[in-house]
Structure 1
Amino acid sequence: MTNPLAGLFTARQKEAARRDLYARGLRLCGDYLAARDDRPTVRDTRLTQAIGVFAGSLDTPSADPFDALLQVGVRALEAGGDDGLALALGVAETATEVRQRSRGAWRLRGRALDGLGRGDEALECYERHLTLLGDGEAAEDVTRRIDTLRRRRACLEEAATLFPGPGAALRDLAGKPAPVAAPEFAAHARARVAEHGPGDPAVRRLLELYGTYRRLVERSGMSDPLLGGTTPVGVGGLRGLVAGRTVCLVSNAAEVAGSGLGAEIDAYDLVVRCDSFRTHAGGAGERTGLHAVSLRGDAPWDGPAWTRPAGIRLVFGDPAAAWRRAVRQRLAAGAQEHVGDASLRRPLSDPALLGEGGWGSGTTTAFTVLRLLDFLDVSPRLDLIGFDKPGRLRPKEAEWVMDRATHVDDSKMRIALR
């Protein structure tokens, strides 16, 4: 005979176990905060806020603390440092115990282990994340990282076979953090060069493997370095792509999405959109001829890939190293036909292009691409839609626009510069 109370007891046991896990997560957060005695950064502030939201959700009977716990892990990754990564890992481990089939929790756990240099463990978590994804769901960044970790391990395994005696120790490096493994791999390579000379075929192959390994430590590999045939363009190439075409720069404002101007927007030869945009046939239109995006934050390469289709993609950012890494990691193969090269990464301040001082690093993406298109001066029509209200542009930018406006149509939120 089935005990009618058995199900109730089981449910209560599971709920008690979850409460214990959430309490453990909160203790991890408390330990992290207690150990912080230096001046907090912006990222520390965001992490502290996320911890506060998580703590508050534990005291709200109707709230589900799980998403708040994951957000703590994400902010801990952003905060960085060994302590931030350790907190992210502790939170991720707790989250995967609370929900063993959570895709987000396994991805977070993989990223934390990856950041700590524990590649083999990260690989297992990334693979678990992929198995939980449904058919057709995007996971390009995880797939790329899995490929990178596998290729790094393959370098070590092949290098170990070249000199079986001393090379045996290389197999153990696959499970060590990259900051530890890379110097040991380098020492092994130097020793073999000294022992056999640089002309030895096995030594040459060893050095090739070491070079590949170091590149894969510095940055993720790319399955398609040519990005599906994407063509880089400089200033001259961009001018040729824009010349003679009517151009419309569309705001991401909600008013545009509900404006009913979609058909008029799509009638322009080149529709320009910025940052995280949305398209809608009846509102903001569906076409995107040029997508402009600005890199923000200390680690802009960690953002989501730019997968929305666009004819031209311009990425604005500085310094050059961060720009190169972000472009390498976030461009998606086949998502654009042309991509701006390094000559277009900071058009306002580049003395070889506009070289205009005084705009500062916080210039909006919309104004940056607008000023660039205005400078090229090859479009018979250059309009802005949805930038007619305060706050869409910075005050100095809005002043620049209105000083050069040839026509303003309030009914259609349109400002014409040509």
Structure 2
Amino acid sequence: MSNPLAGLFTARQKEAARTALYAHGMRLCGEHLAAQCGSSTSRQTGLTRAIGTFAASLGPDAPSAGPFDALLRVGERALEAGGEDELGLALGVAETSTRIRQRSKGAWRLRGLALDGLGRDDEALECYDRYRALLPDGSPAAEVAGRIDTLRRRRTCLESAVALFPDAGSPLPDLLRRASATGTATAPAAAHGTTPTTGATVTTAAVAAEFAAFVRARVAERGLAGPAVRRLLELYGTYRRLVERPALADPLLGGSAPVGIGGLRGLLAGRTVCLVSDTEDVARSGMGAEIDRYDLVVRCDAFRVRAEGTGARTDLHAVSLRGDSPWDGPAWSRPTGVRLVFGDPAAAWRRAVRQRLVPGAQEQVGDASLRRPLSDPALLGEDGWEPGTTTAFTVLRLLDFLDVSPRLDLIGFGGPGRLRPEEAAWVEDRAVHVDDSRMRIALR
């Protein structure tokens, strides 16, 4: 005879486990914030806000689906921030998320991207495979497909190099076996709701250093004349290129056309423009239809669209490069008319544009003349704005400088923390109208 209370007990046990995992996620966030004490760089702003949203979602009145989405968003914001500490937080959040929902596509994708960013190639591939297996058609997003191709081609280079000299006394073959064993452990362990326990982590940096030593040793032993050594050097060159610059399937980016300052001015001339904040206030505002009535809708960095509150269109998307290696961040895959990428120095900007733009995701891409509008003497050339200026203010100041739009409104920027204090003061000083709710600020 079955126990009628068994199902109830099981449900309560699962709920208790989820609660403990959410608490673990909150602890990871708290530890990260404590470690960042005193840091006020703007790349932390979005992450800090996402952590606050996650904390609020854990309240007794929050919807049941809220905490999981909010936790994933913390991981996404951590990836965008791009620092090593942030990548570690993203991985911790992703591991927790895959334990809460073992069939979450977003959680496995986040886990793969975090491991990839940390240089743990084989583990990343395992997570990417889990993500792909959960997709209805098995076709991953272009960003993930590109990373899978790059990681597999790098692995092929390494295995082919070792196969050329099977009797060479080198730690490289053992390092590759350890990397494979670490990666293989990821998926089954996570499937049972636990974090895999392995030996020392094998990173891209460690493998690359050992590969370089392997090549130097073979050249010293055999010289440069033999075909095996020449093939080894070719494989090493390909591997190094794939480490520095991932494979690019479509160099023309699906026909995306470059746009400079003149083209942008022509696009804006005579058109009403609104810059929309990615906040819960806007998502709950019910202003979606009003936002979509503007001729041109501008959004910044990562954002989510809830048509009834935020509007459905994105005509111009602006992003800023953050962190020491901004080219390693998530791909800019959201469809838009124009994508402006702000960043300095030029080499980092070029590499990020090459690696993070997705073919067909934008019709036009801002060229190098638009990469640093605030400090470029050929455009604004204004002193006093810090390198960490928010993306929202950078694009707003550019649109205001061009001065060809009969209406330029900010939606959802009236609350504290949406802009830096000096940026908010600039807006307040030039606003011609602020509605009673402070949801809409008009500069024209």
Same fold, judged at TM 0.5 (above): yes
Deviation at 1:93, TM superposition (A): 3.6
Q: How many residues align?
A: 390
Is 1:396 matched with 2:420?
Answer: no
What CA distance in whole angstroms lies between the structure 2 residues aligned with 1:245 and 1:261?
19
Superposition pairs of residues 87-126 of structure 1, within 5 angstroms = 89-126=91-128
Equivalent residue in structure 2 for 1:369, among 393, 398, 403: 398
Deviation at 1:284, TM superposition (A): 7.1
> Over residues 277-315 of structure 1, what are the superposed CA-to-partner deviations in whole Å (9 max), with x where a residue is unaligned?
96979x979583x54444456665566543344444322
Give the TM-score of the pair, scaled to structure 1: 0.70
Is 1:385 matched with 2:387?
Answer: no
Contact 2:87 2:118 survives alignment (8 Å): yes
> Over residues 187-215 of structure 1, what are the superposed CA-to-partner deviations in whole Å (9 max), with x where a residue is unaligned?
11222333333454433332232233223
What CA distance in whole angstroms lies between the structure 2 residues aligned with 1:60 and 1:388?
27
Determine the structure 1 residue equivalent to 2:11: 11
Is 1:333 matched with 2:333?
Answer: no
Deviation at 1:149, TM superposition (A): 1.3
Superposition pairs of residues 167-186 of structure 1, within 5 angstroms = 170-174=172-176, 175=179, 176-186=202-212
What CA distance in whole angstroms lies between the structure 2 residues aligned with 1:61 and 1:279?
18
Larger Rg: 1
Amino acid at match of 2:342: F
Contact 1:47 1:79 survives alignment (8 Å): no
Change (3 A) 1:321 1:19: same
Amino acid at match of 2:333: T
Aligned-partner SS, 1:338: strand
What CA distance in whole angstroms lies between the structure 2 residues aligned with 1:37 and 1:249?
40
Equivalent residue in structure 2 for 1:207, among 213, 233, 241: 233
What CA distance in whole angstroms lies between the structure 1 residues aligned with 2:94 and 2:314?
39
Contact 2:431 2:441 survives alignment (8 Å): no
Determine the structure 1 residue equivalent to 2:275: 251
Determine the structure 1 residue equivalent to 2:220: 194
Determine the structure 1 residue equivalent to 2:197: none
Deviation at 1:180, TM superposition (A): 0.5
Deviation at 1:127, TM superposition (A): 1.2
Is 1:166 matched with 2:168?
Answer: yes
What CA distance in whole angstroms lies between the structure 1 residues aligned with 2:441 and 2:164?
68
Change (3 A) 1:167 1:224: farther
What CA distance in whole angstroms lies between the structure 1 residues aligned with 2:122 and 2:110?
15
Superposition pairs of residues 288-307 of structure 1, within 5 angstroms = 288=315, 290-295=316-321, 301=327, 304-307=330-333
What CA distance in whole angstroms lies between the structure 1 residues aligned with 2:305 and 2:175?
45
Determine the structure 1 residue equivalent to 2:135: 133
Deviation at 1:394, TM superposition (A): 4.4
Contact 1:233 1:339 survives alignment (8 Å): yes
Deviation at 1:183, TM superposition (A): 0.7
Contact 1:162 1:206 survives alignment (8 Å): yes
Aligned-partner SS, 1:306: coil
What CA distance in whole angstroms lies between the structure 1 residues aligned with 2:174 and 2:151?
15
Deviation at 1:125, TM superposition (A): 1.0
Contact 2:430 2:443 survives alignment (8 Å): no
Change (3 A) 1:150 1:168: farther
> Over residues 205-231 of structure 1, what are the superposed CA-to-partner deviations in whole Å (9 max), with x where a residue is unaligned?
322322332233234433223211223
Change (3 A) 1:247 1:120: same
Change (3 A) 1:39 1:99: closer
Equivalent residue in structure 1 for 2:250, among 218, 224, 232: 224
What CA distance in whole angstroms lies between the structure 2 residues aligned with 1:161 and 1:227?
36
Amino acid at match of 1:41: S
- Gaps spanning 5+ residues in structure 2: where? 180-201, 433-439
Deviation at 1:159, TM superposition (A): 1.8
Is 1:151 matched with 2:153?
Answer: yes
> Over residues 373-402 of structure 1, what are the superposed CA-to-partner deviations in whole Å (9 max), with x where a residue is unaligned?
45xxxxxx5323325999597443676797
What CA distance in whole angstroms lies between the structure 2 residues aligned with 1:27 and 1:277?
22
Task: Decide which moves more: 97-106 or 359-368.
Answer: 359-368
Change (3 A) 1:204 1:353: farther
Change (3 A) 1:19 1:244: closer
Contact 1:318 1:345 survives alignment (8 Å): yes
Is 1:242 matched with 2:269?
Answer: no
* Identical residues among aligned pairs (%): 53
Deviation at 1:259, TM superposition (A): 6.9
Change (3 A) 1:261 1:114: closer
What CA distance in whole angstroms lies between the structure 2 residues aligned with 1:390 and 1:57?
25
Is 1:41 matched with 2:64?
Answer: no
> Over residues 242-273 of structure 1, what are the superposed CA-to-partner deviations in whole Å (9 max), with x where a residue is unaligned?
3896444333276995675856x44xxxx463
CA RMSD of the aligned region, Å? 4.9
Deviation at 1:177, TM superposition (A): 0.9
Determine the structure 1 residue equivalent to 2:192: none
Contact 1:69 1:95 survives alignment (8 Å): yes
Aligned-partner SS, 1:383: coil
- Gaps spanning 5+ residues in structure 1: where? 375-380, 403-411
Contact 1:54 1:72 survives alignment (8 Å): no
Contact 2:375 2:381 survives alignment (8 Å): yes
Equivalent residue in structure 2 for 1:273, among 277, 298, 306: 298
